[in-house]
Amino acid sequence: MLRVALRGILSRRWRLLTTGIAILLGVAFISGTDVLSDVLTRGANGLIDAAYRGIDVQVRSSAATENEFSSQPVRPEVDASLLDTIRATKGVAVAEGQIQAQATMLDKKGKPLPTVGPPTFLFNWIDNPDLVGGTVTSGRAPNGPDEAALDFKTAEEFGFRVGDHLTMQLPKGPATFTIVGLGGIGKKGDQSAGARSVLVDTARAQQLLGIEGKFSSIVVKAAPGVTQDQLAKRIGQILPDKVEAITGEALIKETQASIAQILGVITDLVAAFGWLAVFVALFVIYNTFSILIAQRTREMALLRAVGASRGQILGSVILEATVVGLVAAVLGVAVGFVLAAGLQNILASFIPLAKEPARLTTSAIVTSLIVGVVATVASALGPAIRATRIPPVAAISETAVEPQEVSLRRKVFGALLVVGGVAAVLLAVQKTLEPVLTWVGAGAAMLFLSVLVIGPTFAGRVTAWLGAPLRLLDRTTGRIAQQNAVRNPKRTTATAAALTIGVGVVAVIAVVAASFKGTFTDVFQNQIRADYVVDSGGQFGTGMPPEVLAAVQQVPGVADASSLRLFGGIVLNSKKAAEQRALPRSELPPALRDSTAPVGEPVLTAGIEPKPFTTVFDLGRVTPGLSAVRDDGVMIEKKLAADNGWKIGDRVEFYFAQQHLQGGDGRIELPIVATYDKSFAIGGDTPLYFMTQATFAKLQPPQLNVDQTIYFNTAAGASGKTVARAVTKAIEPISPVASVVPIGKYFNDRLAPINGFLNLVYGLLALAVVVALVGIWNTLLLSIYERTREIGLLRAIGMERRKVRRAVRMEAAVIALFGTVMGIALGVALSLAFVNGFADQGIKLHLPTTQLVVIAVGGAFAGVLAALWPAFKASRTNMLEAIATT
């Protein structure tokens, strides 16, 4: 029996090949991301190690708070006077104050560097190779207020050279430096930090950031013979509270852990698409084995007739599946490795991590082999069991094909899947079932599976309907194609269902994205009453000094100029804050676990001048009235108040690290002085607390006392373009990074990164679609093999090769369209549930109709593409062989 099985595998190797490809693709993706994640993590770890190696102890504020807009927690500065105390401590060899702040930088043409990509940081130059963590490799170190060193990678990318000028936008205004040196991280200075770094004189950095007398942290080198632990302990004893001393080792570990967490999120996302592809591959394998077994009914029956037991039949099919899965998995690991190495090279040109060689990880190998074999065997199990039920008499009966009727048991099972799937999705989006994504995924999987199970009951009718246009195109060929598509509803459904999954997920993403984008645009267009926006052009936490707004207001023709400043804060007495406190510390991001700052809900605070701001930005009805919004009070959305059971006059308890630093415990209570009723679209679902700019300035760090955005209108009679040009000219000297943009362009610029991300997701989803197309290709080849006689007959009685090819392509188009239409239907249904789940955030359904039609048509065409080779094969059918009697 073993020999029979192995011979069979060999003789069917080409037909099994395509099955293998389906599983191979999924496995390659999963193992590839594992390898990639490993090499990226090692690269990042190497860098962090190189940068912090020379630091024995770091002294910093212990009040770290989470920030919605940055991966790293924020810490307030420490007092510069601490430096002398530390230097006087026994065992300290060197101690230096360090400054690090996010900033915006201009390229040589005067444009801000793109916001997508590595962040830009301003550092102070520390004249100690160990503590600065890097080396100047060409030119020299900066000296004096007007000189700067730049990291070599940014210099390369934007064409900066020693002797060039470099302009940065900083909270206290723009500053121009002469580049005197280029360098990088590590002893040789040949590594790039994955961030853009500008290093300048310490006093100048403090002045530009508005933090005179302060450092971001203090870094210390130990005297010979003193260990990091000893030194950290010693320094710790003399530090005031809210300031901590951490060893270099711990600093490296903590930073590595938070980077690993970010990389993990990215690689998990990519791997998720690999798992999706494997799920699709299950359908393809199931289908292939069903067909192969149907085609071998006689052979199996003969085996049974001559005495093979059911167990032996089952064993032979399982063996076949195992071999296919194993071979595909091994090849998948190899392909995944190549894929990862390639991706690493591509990524290296964006985020230069470190030149680590890609390495095959044990987890990649183990996962791949398990996934490959288990997935293949599991999906072949059904067909294998069916094979054991083939009666020996089938060997002599004329035709023995797959049974076509859909049994009652199957229908009931399908109905249960539908009910289960719908229930899981609905309960999950209402957050009755948690974690939401897992349950939505499980529900969606059940629904996709139900398509496979009950699809055959309606496959005939639907494909007849979908194929109707083809009959108009070419009556006879169209009919033959369509009849072929429906002659085996189970096979057609299984082939189409694989495509349904990929298309379904694409549709969900398309609809959800369109709904978010549409809602966002609606809200903006309804709320923003400004014609122009002055965009600070920088990343979060950077902006324009207050003089910019003053300058804009001075320009003739400008009306209603008003600004918005944003920064994070922590609320301690909201419902979410209580939930957050109930979490164990171990679930917090690594850098926050030891923070001395109280745990609460991260929120956004917005600084505005209430009257002018509401003229350019419609917040709806303000209760009791705008004049109630005064200093030392907050205005919040009505719904936020209701959710927390707050009334006007109630107090919100905040924690601001800045306040903590200035003495006291950082806790500030502000009364709710007003509510508004139109939700504000900035910041997504992060709660927003409006306050006057005076209050904002008092509570937030000085370097954040900058305007994020300025809105303005053109006065009646003034030409928009002329005014915009005048504004540009007026602000140029104070804020060269800022740009004046018409409101329409501003929306589009906001949406651009979302579109970029969506394109990436669609690109990854293509994998699942490709696997499904491999399934279509495979099924057609097998079907054509089955229909050799019929095709030969058609050729004999006068069907041209061209038409034979066309018939196969049309058949594929019908199957693919069936899969696509089901995918879109399911996808739209799922996204209805999703969008409904976001209804409390004001998200409204927007159906991207054109896009959905394009997906449907594209699906059909992709099917045709997959049919090209099978169609060619069919047209080459040997007529004489086909009509031979034996």
Partner 1 sequence: MSDTTTSTVIAAAAHDATKVYGHGDTQVVALNGVSVDFARGQYTAIMGPSGSGKSTLMHCLAGLDRLTSGQVFVAGVDLSSLDEKALTQLRRDQIGFVFQAFNLIPTLSAIENITLPMDLGGREPDQQWVDQVVTTVGLADRLSHRPSELSGGQQQRVAVARALASRPQIIFADEPTGNLDSRTGNEILTFMRAAVDELRQTIVMVTHDPNAASYADRVIFLADGHIVDEMPNPTAASVLDKMKQLGD
- Closer to partner 1 by Cβ: residue 412 or 796: 796
Shortest gap between Cβ of 784 and partner 1 (angstroms)? Answer: 14
**What are φ and ψ of residue 240, in 5° steps?**
-65, 165
- Closer to partner 1 by Cβ: residue 483 or 521: 483
Shortest gap between Cβ of 487 and partner 1 (angstroms)? Answer: 5
Q: How far apart are CA 541 and CA 530, in angstroms?
A: 23
844 and 782 in contact (C-beta within 8 Å)?
no
Shortest gap between Cβ of 789 and partner 1 (angstroms)? Answer: 5
Q: How far apart are CA 83 and CA 100, in angstroms?
A: 16
Q: How far apart are CA 29 and CA 332, in angstroms?
A: 8
Shortest gap between Cβ of 328 and partner 1 (angstroms)? Answer: 34
99 and 205 in contact (C-beta within 8 Å)?
yes
Q: Can you tell me whether residue 668 is helix, strand or coil?
A: strand
- Closer to partner 1 by Cβ: residue 412 or 883: 883
Helices 310-348 and 13-52 cross at an angle (nearest 10°) of 40
Shortest gap between Cβ of 873 and partner 1 (angstroms)? Answer: 16
- Closer to partner 1 by Cβ: residue 694 or 796: 796
- Closer to partner 1 by Cβ: residue 259 or 871: 871
- Closer to partner 1 by Cβ: residue 637 or 811: 811
Shortest gap between Cβ of 876 and partner 1 (angstroms)? Answer: 11
Shortest gap between Cβ of 526 and partner 1 (angstroms)? Answer: 57
Using the contact rule CB under 8 A, the part of the chain among 257-265, 338-346, 758-766, 876-884 near partner 1 is 876-884
Q: In 296-407, where does DSSP find H-type helix?
A: 297-305, 310-348, 362-388
Shortest gap between Cβ of 293 and partner 1 (angstroms)? Answer: 20
Q: How far apart are CA 21 and CA 862, in angstroms?
A: 17
Shortest gap between Cβ of 342 and partner 1 (angstroms)? Answer: 44
Q: How many residues does the chain have?
A: 886
- Closer to partner 1 by Cβ: residue 221 or 795: 795
Q: Which two tokens stand for residue 143?
A: 């000296």
Q: How far apart are CA 415 and CA 421, in angstroms?
A: 10
Q: Is 32 exposed, middle or buried (0-12, 13-18, 19+ CB in 10 A)?
A: buried
**What are φ and ψ of residue 793, in 5° steps?**
-60, -45
Beta strands at 147-151 and 104-105: parallel, antiparallel or unpaired = unpaired
Binding to partner 1 (CB under 8 A) within 785-844 occurs at 789-790, 793-803
Please pick, from the candidates 81, 407, 849, 885, the single residue that binds partner 1 as defined by CB under 8 A: 885
Q: Is 879 a residue that touches partner 1 (CB under 8 A)?
A: yes
> What dihedral angle (degrees, nearest 10) is formed by the CA atoms of 190, 191, 194, 197?
-50
Number of CB atoms found within 10 A of residue 111's CB: 13
Binding-residue total with partner 1 (CB under 8 A): 25
| Tokens 């770290």 sit on residue | 64
- Closer to partner 1 by Cβ: residue 236 or 460: 460
Q: In 555-708, where does DSSP find H-type helix?
A: 575-582, 610-616, 638-644, 657-661, 693-699
| Residue 707 to residues 167, 174, 538, 725, 735, Cα–Cα distance (Å) | 19, 14, 11, 20, 11
Per-residue DSSP letters for 525-570?
Answer: HHHB--SEEEE--S-TT--B-THHHHHHHHSTTEEEEEEEEEEEEE
List beta partners, residue 709.
535, 564
Q: Which two tokens stand for residue 313?
A: 């039949």
| Nearest residue to 64 (alpha-carbon basis) of 422, 825, 595 | 595
| Tokens 């209580």 sit on residue | 578
Shortest gap between Cβ of 795 and partner 1 (angstroms)? Answer: 7
Q: How far apart are CA 495 and CA 866, in angstroms?
A: 12
622 and 679 in contact (C-beta within 8 Å)?
no
Shortest gap between Cβ of 805 and partner 1 (angstroms)? Answer: 13
**What are φ and ψ of residue 530, in 5° steps?**
-95, 150
Q: Is the dihedral of CA 566, 570, 571, 576 positive or negative?
A: positive
Shortest gap between Cβ of 794 and partner 1 (angstroms)? Answer: 7
- Closer to partner 1 by Cβ: residue 47 or 812: 812
Shortest gap between Cβ of 878 and partner 1 (angstroms)? Answer: 10
- Closer to partner 1 by Cβ: residue 415 or 883: 883
Helix then strand then coil, in percent of the chain rounded to 5, is: 60, 15, 25
Binding mask 472-511 for partner 1 (x = CB under 8 A): ---xxx-xx--xx--x------------------------
Shortest gap between Cβ of 787 and partner 1 (angstroms)? Answer: 9
Q: Is 396 a residue that touches partner 1 (CB under 8 A)?
A: no
Shortest gap between Cβ of 793 and partner 1 (angstroms)? Answer: 7
Shortest gap between Cβ of 874 and partner 1 (angstroms)? Answer: 14
- Closer to partner 1 by Cβ: residue 323 or 780: 780
- Closer to partner 1 by Cβ: residue 233 or 487: 487
**What are φ and ψ of residue 139, in 5° steps?**
80, -145
- Closer to partner 1 by Cβ: residue 401 or 752: 401
List beta partners, residue 177.
166
| Nearest residue to 707 (alpha-carbon basis) of 618, 569, 606, 570 | 606
Q: Is 35 exposed, middle or buried (0-12, 13-18, 19+ CB in 10 A)?
A: buried
Q: Is 880 a residue that touches partner 1 (CB under 8 A)?
A: yes
The secondary structure element, H or E, covering residue 408 is helix 408-429
Shortest gap between Cβ of 395 and partner 1 (angstroms)? Answer: 19
- Closer to partner 1 by Cβ: residue 483 or 836: 483
- Closer to partner 1 by Cβ: residue 306 or 880: 880
| Contact residues for partner 1, defined by CB under 8 A | 475-477, 479-480, 483-484, 487, 789-790, 793-803, 879-880, 883, 885
